[in-house]
Amino acid sequence: MGNSAASRDIASVLHPYTNFTAHEKTGPMVITKGNGIYVSDDTGRDYIEGMAGLWCASLGFSEKRLVAAATKQLETLPFYHSFASRSTNPTIDLAAKLLELAPVPMSKIFFANSGSEATDSAIKMVWYYHNAIARPEKKKIISRKRGYHGVTVASASLTGLPGNHKLFDLPIDRILHTETPHFWREAQPYETEEDFATRMAESLEDLIQAEGPETVAAFIAEPIMGAGGVVVPPRTYFEKIQEVLDRYDILFIADEVICGFGRTGRMFATETFHLKPDMITVAKQLSSAYQPISALFINEKIYQALKKGADEVGAFGHGFTYSGHPVAAAVALETLKIYEDDGIIDHVRSVMGHFQQRLRDLNKFENVGETRGKGLIGAFELVADKCAKTPFTPTGWAGKAVAELCLEHGVILRAMGDSVAMCPPLIITDAQIDDMFDGIEAALTQWQKAI
């Protein structure tokens, strides 16, 4: 490879979520430019970015208004911090706008740089909250198996995927996991979705009882599980979960990092599924990924406890150098304006029916066991036997093979085990949806002939 970009990458870059041995042999796929829903590699080939990058480039890869917003802010005030009562106009305006958009009443916005940092901040605030209200024993946080909440030490502990725990000495203590609400894979033959949801809520309650309700502080959940395989909750699931949380005075954190800002056809999936969270984490589509930024919404009772604790200590001892970075905040604010000006959520609603129909059509393939999704997010799961729901062995080879074939047909998707996910930019059109699924169907046809 000589002094090519690929050889220099192999020599110098440690890649997230990558098998290093394989990477040294094959090298990277180098993306050089983007336009709308498409990206191009260093050979000049174009691809439909069917994952919006990493669930995040909601407005595609060439939105000039976001470039202009960043440039203007860089020329005006390229950086200032939020420590010790300092602020900037973009930070203030963005926080106010987010509170205006909040799907349930919220009190304050805390800014960070990634979904992982927002989750980590939520964990610390849960612990701080209970100390401040004189319940120091109430500290355990319950997540779900296959849930995804980040990769910092604490947020990766909440993440319920083995690959995020093995060899990392995770999870840390005070982090628990309850069952995955995947009806197709986990339900008993006799169960309806409602029956299954009842069992999931009972399982959560059993865990709380076993641990001691006085020790359980919070429950965190993605409205739709993302990296765990795009798992859509069964009917009545969150209503029944919420009842359990209310019964034991347990805080609810809604992880909207993937679902927030239009992905499900509402501004927040909290609205789609009628959730009642005390805290909400957002990132990704907040800035259409043009700048790193995340936010944590907290309600009034949590804010009052944080204020009380900060009075006792002298100051609230948490924050990041780049919390509320003015350039990132300016870009995020412009992103929210574009969502309104261009009617992005209305557009999602206009195309998501077609998207979901094309997704369901993949069930015609012999080795597609299930398709699932909501709005403009979806996945199909590959199985060795559709009737018996028998997975392939070893796990993951089928998903990887199909995702690689999709790439050959000009579509970038993401394999998560043997589930293959799609989450295109929100600006995708009906015709582009057809192009994407035509490529997926061509890949599946080619794969099924080969196995």
Among 149, 236, 222, residue whose Cα is nearest residue 191: 236
Reported as a pLDDT band with limits 50, 70 and 90, residue 1 is low
Per-residue pLDDT, 44: 95
Mean pLDDT of 137-157: 98
> 327 and 350 share a domain?
no
Residue that has been written with the tokens 């979960």 in this structure: 241
Is the pLDDT assigned to residue 342 strictly greater than 90?
A: yes
Last residue of a domain, one of 315, 341, 367: 341
> 354 and 396 share a domain?
yes
> 315 and 400 share a domain?
no
Reported as a pLDDT band with limits 50, 70 and 90, residue 364 is very high
Last residue of a domain, one of 319, 341, 363: 341
> 135 and 217 share a domain?
yes
Per-residue pLDDT, 440: 98
- CATH number, position 426: 3.90.1150.10
Residues 304-335 pLDDT 10s: 999 999 999 999 999 999 999 999 999 999 99
Per-residue pLDDT, 3: 85
> 42 and 88 share a domain?
no
> 208 and 87 share a domain?
yes
> 57 and 72 share a domain?
no
Residues 21-39 pLDDT 10s: 999 999 999 999 999 999 9
Residue that has been written with the tokens 């997230």 in this structure: 16
> 429 and 358 share a domain?
yes
Mean pLDDT of 5-19: 96
* Rounded Cα distance, 212 and 106, in Å: 29
- The residue segments making up the domain with residue 433 are 5-62+343-450
Reported as a pLDDT band with limits 50, 70 and 90, residue 197 is very high
Please answer whether residues 253 and 219 qualify as being in contact, where contact means their C-beta atoms are separated by less than 8 angstroms: yes
Among 314, 301, 317, residue whose Cα is nearest residue 135: 301
Per-residue pLDDT, 147: 98
Among 270, 265, 417, 274, residue whose Cα is nearest residue 356: 265
* Burial bucket for residue 153 (CB in 10 Å: 0-12, 13-18, 19+): middle
* Rounded Cα distance, 178 and 225, in Å: 14
Count of C-beta atoms within a 10 Å radius of residue 174: 17
> Model's pTM, two decimal places?
0.97
> 430 and 297 share a domain?
no
Residues 166-193 pLDDT 10s: 999 999 999 999 999 999 999 999 999 9
Last residue of a domain, one of 341, 368, 390: 341
Please answer whether residues 82 and 323 qualify as being in contact, where contact means their C-beta atoms are separated by less than 8 angstroms: yes
> 86 and 193 share a domain?
yes
> 305 and 396 share a domain?
no
Tally of domains in the chain: 2
Please answer whether residues 125 and 279 qualify as being in contact, where contact means their C-beta atoms are separated by less than 8 angstroms: yes
* Rounded Cα distance, 302 and 317, in Å: 16
* Rounded Cα distance, 190 and 372, in Å: 21
CA R_g for the chain = 22
* Rounded Cα distance, 259 and 261, in Å: 7
* Rounded Cα distance, 449 and 451, in Å: 6
Query: Does the CA dihedral 132-298-333-261 come out positive or negative?
Result: positive
Please answer whether residues 259 and 268 qualify as being in contact, where contact means their C-beta atoms are separated by less than 8 angstroms: yes
Mean pLDDT of the chain: 97
Mean pLDDT of 116-144: 98
Residue that has been written with the tokens 């043009």 in this structure: 290
Mean pLDDT of 54-80: 98
* Rounded Cα distance, 1 and 42, in Å: 14
For the record, the structure tokens of 269 come out as 């999936």
Mean pLDDT of 347-353: 98
Work out the angle at residue 395's Cα, subtended by the Cα atoms of residues 228 and 444, and round it to the nearest 5 degrees: 85
What lies within 8 Å, CB to CB, of 339 at 6+ separation is 261, 262, 267, 345
Among 366, 355, 101, 365, residue whose Cα is nearest residue 230: 355
DSSP code, position 226: S
> 73 and 174 share a domain?
yes
Residue that has been written with the tokens 């765990």 in this structure: 228
